[in-house]
Structure 1
Amino acid sequence: MAAKKKPTEKSKKTIKSLDNKKQPAQKKPKTKAVKKVVPDSIPAFRAQIAAKNARHRRRLKRTIRYEMANSMSHGIGAGMAIAGMIFLIFKGIAVHEPLRIVAYTIFGSSLTVLYLASTLYHSLPSPRAKSIFRRIDHASIYLAIAGSYTPVTLIALGGSLGWTLFSIVWFFAAAGIFYKSAFKTGHEFISVSLYIATGWMIVFAIEPLMESVNAAGLWLFISGGLAYTLGVIFYSLEKLPYHHMIWHLFVLAGSITHFIAIYLFV
């Protein structure tokens, strides 16, 4: 038998090159670059946290100042309402008219409830308590409107017209109180519209009212109504500093004007 030939160096290279052609070169898998989601350094991260805390402290201090101003303004109003009610009750006692005493008491009590509810709402720190007194505060606005109408309708107007207007106003006030009490997140537009509509129902009895309280008394009532209505504008300007306290001052002006009109002309 013939002996097998050993492969030469040349034949080895040829075989190796053929193997390389048969097997394609493997590509290296691509790796996606991971983006940094944290600050470049710990000091930068701490600076961000410090800035955020500083903004929170400034907002908290500003809120406390605003709420102090709001509670103080209507706290003064509560004291004035109680004092005014006492003056009116003594006036009713002096003329020996039980209806006047009742009407004056309803007027003074409604304003007292309004201002006390507002004072507590703005002064209490508990979120739950604030939520409860916020609804009482808003509902008491309807009470104050109806209470302000009571001496006007029952004493100044009187008769069938006075009692009819008295019943209508108190019906709308009761509906508003129910709406504010039953619905936690009612539409603010509906509430404000009902406030204004109920407050200006007196326009349907302008002539009889003028005959009863004369021109000076009528203008005092109209001025008080305008003060309440203009205050609503500032109530809605939430970006204005102390806008709510300004609204409170307009409410105080309206209450004082109506008290003077009732004390002097009703």
Structure 2
Amino acid sequence: MFAPRLLDFQKTKYARFMNHRVPAHKRYQPTEYEHAANCATHAFWIIPSILGSSNLYFLSDDDWETISAWIYGLGLCGLFVVSTVFHTISWKKSHLRMVEHCLHMFDRMVIYFFIAASYAPWYKLVELLCYIVMGFFPALVILSMPNTEGIWELVTGGVFYCLGMVFFKSDGRIPFAHAIWHLFVAFGAGTHYYAIWRYLYLPSTLQTKVSK
């Protein structure tokens, strides 16, 4: 009983910043404030994701690293671009229901692709194809890898995603819940990017300096 009351922001001064809780069969209806936050929290990361992906591409030493950089970069940039476009259309062009619906589905599909793409630099191409099929569970095979560098960063990124799900499921209960979920996604993506950059693409001489 205590937890629901603690999270009942509808009875506080913050109620104007949040949408009312809707049944499962009805559409999520953010407030104007939440619409703006949903767009901004992912639009902000579009340029950094493009620059970061380009950095991995230019640091690539062989064909596999180049392919991995492309796959990961497409997943990373696609995640933020598609999410931003979807939320912008949902906010400013909500009358385009078919377009909005297609973008919503595409937004969900990009998430699955990004999950697999985040692990692309850690595996060979054949293994990657298996993980794309697996979708949700690519991280399980990491435990069998002989080289465990970057494992903790990958785990930390996964924790960010999991914690973010609490807010993803809290629309109508917590102000800006969806935007907060976006931030957790950005933190998770940033943590995984750091692991990929540091342990797989950064030259060994610079890795030593970073470790110090």
Q: 1:126 aligns with which of 93, 99, 117?
A: 93
Partner of 1:163: 126
* Residue identity matched to 2:82: A
- In the alignment, structure 1 segments of 5+ residues that lack a partner are 1-57, 155-161, 174-197
Q: 2:170 aligns with which of 237, 245, 252?
A: 237
Q: CA RMSD in A?
A: 2.3
Q: How many residue pairs were aligned?
A: 170
Maintained 8 Å contact 2:119/2:138: no
Q: Deviations over 1:20-59 (max 9, x none)?
A: xxxxxxxxxxxxxxxxxxxxxxxxxxxxxxxxxxxxxx97
Larger fraction in helix:
1
Q: Distance in 2 between matches of 1:65 and 1:259?
A: 30
- Quick one: percent identity of the two aligned structures? 27
Choose between structure 1 and 2 for higher RCO, CA contacts under 8 A separated by at least 6 residues: 2
Alignment of 1:129-148 (within 5 A): 129-148=99-118
Tell me the secondary structure at the aligned position of residue 123 of structure 2. Answer: helix
Q: Distance in 2 between matches of 1:141 and 1:151?
A: 17
Alignment of 1:37-116 (within 5 A): 63-92=31-60, 95=61, 97-116=62-81
Partner of 1:205: 142
TM-score (norm: length of structure 2): 0.73
TM-score (norm: length of structure 1): 0.59
Q: Distance in 2 between matches of 1:132 and 1:126?
A: 13
Q: Distance in 2 between matches of 1:229 and 1:133?
A: 24
Partner of 2:191: 257
Q: Distance in 1 between matches of 2:174 and 2:76?
A: 26
